[in-house]
Structures are given as structure tokens and as C-alpha cells.
Amino acid sequence: MERARLASLNRWKREKKRKPLLIRGARQVGKTWLIREFAKSFPSFCEINLEAQPELIPLFKDYFGKPRELIRYLSAATGKTIQPGSTLLFIDEIQESPQALLSLRYFFENLPELHVVSAGSLVEFVLKELSFPVGRIEFMHLFPLSFEEYLWAVEKKELAEEIKQSSENRSLPHALHDAAMKEVRSYLLIGGMPAVVEAYTQKKDFAHCQGIQQLLIANYRADFSKYASRADVPHLRLLFDAIPRTIGQKLKYSHISKEIRSRELSKALGLMEQAGLVYKSVHSSGNGVPLNAESKPEKFKAFLLDIGLAQRILGLNLHELFISTTSPLHRGRIAEQFVAQELVALTPTNDSPRLFYWHREATSSQAEVDFLLESSGKVKPIEVKSGATGSMKSLHLFIKEKGLSEGYKISEAPFSKIVQNGVTLTNIPFYCIGSSLR
């Protein structure tokens, strides 16, 4: 399996003013695998897991602020020599020790030649309680496999390369377009969780993949008690099961439960967002950048971290969907989930995932643009259409109201570009989101 973040890690490795790196992301998205794969480029590797090796935690307390002494005793405890300049030190499940998290700054200040990477599945809950000095640590978010990474995994690398080279001026031939869309439909069912993709590459057995998806869902549900009080757990489970049914809609807590107060459900959703299980797309007026300046956090849509898990929670049978003559993309909400994941996967290093959309709720003039992006100081409005065609009324309205000169449609159709009345409308096929909107 290959991950795009490996390229980012290799750039980090070569930096002269390198800072300790903290990998963030939900459980089971491949953080530990990624670092172990990255470690193959080093002469030596020392991996410490503070959850599995709690006896090492006191060392971070006793030698806090003294990285040279710390690595000396870590070497003695693990039996692995930690040599600055040639060893990659990996501190996994670092959230088990706040002192370990805070000690990262001292590696930068006092031992910058040592390559230090850390990770933790529930690290967000510790980070909110701590105050990191600005500029001492780098962050990198890891998400489920993007569609391009999925193509790499299923040995369609040549197709992935042709997709990357395509554009509105160089559309794929029909045969390749059809092949790419077939892979998109498979990805909608399998999703991007590494364990599920690996199982699919080995057996091509949808029943086996469904079983792994179900196990992952059970593990996430079991995790709820780790980052919430006992009273919050039922709310977390309720939301986890409800969000796949609300994809593509403005989330209203009253539609999820009329008995539970919105404040309690809002708190639970915030915990899920911190854990990386949910991404919010927040309403923005979209008059200019940054989009966040005109956002209204109380108005949002919610997307699950993985499209395959979302379909499993809904109880859909993967094999039946795969042989169906109706594409899952024709279910518009699933199409939006796919696009949301592709956009989240484009999150730059040191940034957090952010999604925006626009809507108008006036009784006589309702309209909605599915996604808004920032690019080169401009707002890019994006409409998602589950088929190859569809009305673009909301997109045209937004472009006219905001005085823009371009807009985008994502659909099953091949690349195309139309210029009307000084406005350029570009159609991007689903398989090209990562390469076209990067």
C-alpha cells in the first residue's frame, strides 16, 4: 500500500530547520503503518508505544526538557541505540503522557538533528488541554485513503497517472473514462479504510470486506467511552448511526432526537469531530476569502470519515450494490460524501481539514452550492451532480450574486468547459477531484 503523505514525510526529513512532527487522525487510518514504512529510509528506527509500554512514561517526566538524557535512557530501556542524524524516533500513542507531548518542543530547541515523529489516535483530547509554544512542532493530518491512493492499492497505478495528466484540455478516452468511473463505484462501496482496502486487494470478496467494516464500526463505538463521560456515550452512538442518514443535508438535532437537548447532541458531535470521525462543512456567505471570516458555525452539514463505513452503518449490502445496474453515485448524498472526502484529503501539512458550503433559505428563493473552496485569493463554487447532467440553477445564482467569473460542476461526465456571458463553467469528473482542485 502506498500513501501520498510519504512524499510529505520525505520532504520533512530533508528540511534543515526540521521540527518534531505530530501525526493526527482517527484510529485505524494508518498512522503507525505510515511511520513504519517511512522508517525504512533511515539507517535505524526506534519505536516507542506509550500505551503498550507505560513503564517508559516516567522517563518523560524525570527528564523533561532534557532530550539528550531522555534518549540516552530510552536507548537503554529499549535496547535500541538512538543516534541523532541517523535514527528515526517514533513515539506512538503519545497522548498517554502530556509530558511526552510537551517535551517535543525541547527536541526542536536542544536536539534538532534528531528526527522525531509522534502519533496518537485520541491526541486531540489532550491537545485541547495543553498550550504548545508556537513554531516548535509541525502537524500532519492523515485520513482514509483518497481515491488516488485506492487506485495505487488495487494496482491501477497507470490509470491513476492518466487521470492525473487529464484536464479540460485533455480528457481521457471514453474507454479510460469508463474504467475510471467503474473504480469510483467500487471505492464508494469499499471506502478508504486501509484494513478494508487491503482485504479487498487480497480476496475481492465483498462479504469479507463488510465484516471488516463492521469490526471497525464496533471498535469506534467501543472507543466512545475513552473520550466521553458515561452519560455522553449514548449520544455519541446515536449520532454515529444517524449521520450517514443526514449526509448532504443541513444537520438539525431535532431531526435526530426530539427527546435529547440540542446542547447535549452538539457536545457529542464536537467530541466526534475531535476524534476525527466526523467532518463538518460550515455555511459561509462566500463573499470573499477567507471563507471562515463569514462562516456561521451553527449552520453545517456533517460527513462521516469514510464512505464505506457510512454505507455499512446504513445496512447496505456491498455485493448487491456492486452488481446493481444503478450506480451508487445516483444517490446524491453519497456523491457529496465522496467529494467531501476527496477535498479533506487535500488538506495541507500543518493545517486542519475545513469544508464550506453556501445556502439561501429564503422561502421564495432557496438555493444551495454544495462546496466552496479558496484558491489564489478567490472563491471557487462547486456543485455536485450524481449523474452526468442536472440543473445548475443554484451555481449560476451564486456566481451572479457574488460577481464571479468561474464555477465548477463535479459529475459522472468527462471533462468539459463552457464559457457563457463571461463566466467559465468547468465540469470535473469524480475521479479527477484530487488532481484538478489541488
Summarised one tens digit per residue, pLDDT across range 123-175 is: 888 887 787 767 889 999 999 999 999 999 999 999 999 999 998 888 999 99
Tell whether 66 and 171 lie within a shared domain.
Answer: no
**Sheet of 87-92, strands arranged across:** 44-49, 87-92, 115-119, 21-24, 138-141
- With contact defined as beta carbons under 8 Å apart, do 89 and 49 qualify? no
Question: Global pTM?
Answer: 0.93
**8-state DSSP, 413:** S
Statement: residue 330 has pLDDT above 70:
no
Residues 313 and 240: their CA atoms lie apart, in Å, by 9
Which range has the worst mean pLDDT, 136-145, 362-371, 423-432? Answer: 362-371
> Exposure of 82 by Cβ count < 10 A (0-12 exposed, 13-18 middle, 19+ buried)?
buried
**8-state DSSP, 127:** H
Residues 359 and 366: their CA atoms lie apart, in Å, by 7
Tell whether 103 and 187 lie within a shared domain.
Answer: no
Statement: residue 253 has pLDDT above 80:
yes
In a domain, 25, yes or no: yes
* Grid coordinates belonging to 395: 451555481
Q: What is the pLDDT of residue 319?
A: 59
Domain edge (last residue) among 101, 122, 141: 141
In a domain, 312, yes or no: yes
Compute the mean pLDDT over every residue in the chain, rounded to the nearest whole number.
92
In a domain, 409, yes or no: yes
User: Which CATH number fits the domain that encloses residue 64?
Assistant: 3.40.50.300
Statement: residue 304 has pLDDT above 90:
yes
Tell whether 193 and 87 lie within a shared domain.
Answer: no
- The helix/strand/coil state of 429 is strand
Domain edge (last residue) among 141, 164, 196: 141
What are the backbone angles phi and psi of residue 310, rounded to the nearest 5°?
-60, -45
pLDDT one-digit tens code per residue, 368-403: 999 999 988 999 999 999 776 667 899 999 999 999
Residues 254 and 168: their CA atoms lie apart, in Å, by 43
- The sign one gets for the Cα dihedral 316, 318, 319, 324 is positive
Tell whether 133 and 155 lie within a shared domain.
Answer: no
Tell whether 102 and 204 lie within a shared domain.
Answer: no
In a domain, 337, yes or no: yes
- Give me the percent of the chain exceeding a pLDDT of 70: 95
In a domain, 146, yes or no: no
Tell whether 91 and 179 lie within a shared domain.
Answer: no
Tell whether 72 and 183 lie within a shared domain.
Answer: no
Residues 321 and 289: their CA atoms lie apart, in Å, by 40
User: Where would I find the H helices in 250-387?
Assistant: 253-256, 262-274, 307-313, 318-323, 332-344
- With contact defined as beta carbons under 8 Å apart, do 357 and 383 qualify? no
Tell whether 315 and 225 lie within a shared domain.
Answer: yes
Instruction: Work out the pLDDT band at 218, boundaries 50, 70, 90.
Output: very high
Tell whether 269 and 322 lie within a shared domain.
Answer: yes
Q: What is the pLDDT of residue 327?
A: 54
Tell whether 71 and 165 lie within a shared domain.
Answer: no
Q: What is the pLDDT of residue 316?
A: 73
Tell whether 264 and 359 lie within a shared domain.
Answer: yes
* Grid coordinates belonging to 352: 486542519
Q: Strand pairing of 87-92 and 365-375?
A: unpaired
* Residue in 133, 143, 88 with CA at minimum distance from that of residue 113: 88
Statement: residue 243 has pLDDT above 90:
yes
pLDDT one-digit tens code per residue, 14-29: 998 899 999 999 999 9
Domain edge (last residue) among 141, 172, 193: 141
Tell whether 392 and 247 lie within a shared domain.
Answer: yes
**Which helix (DSSP H) or strand (DSSP E) does residue 5 occupy?**
helix 5-14
Q: Which residues face 119 on adjacent strands?
A: 23
Q: How many domains does the chain have?
A: 2
Q: What is the pLDDT of residue 324?
A: 58
Q: What is the pLDDT of residue 389?
A: 66
Q: What is the pLDDT of residue 322?
A: 57
pLDDT one-digit tens code per residue, 182-207: 999 999 999 999 999 999 999 888 88
In a domain, 53, yes or no: yes
Expressed as residue numbers, the domain containing 35 is 5-141
Q: What is the pLDDT of residue 227?
A: 75
Q: What is the pLDDT of residue 386?
A: 79
In a domain, 401, yes or no: yes
Tell me the one-letter amino acid at 91. I
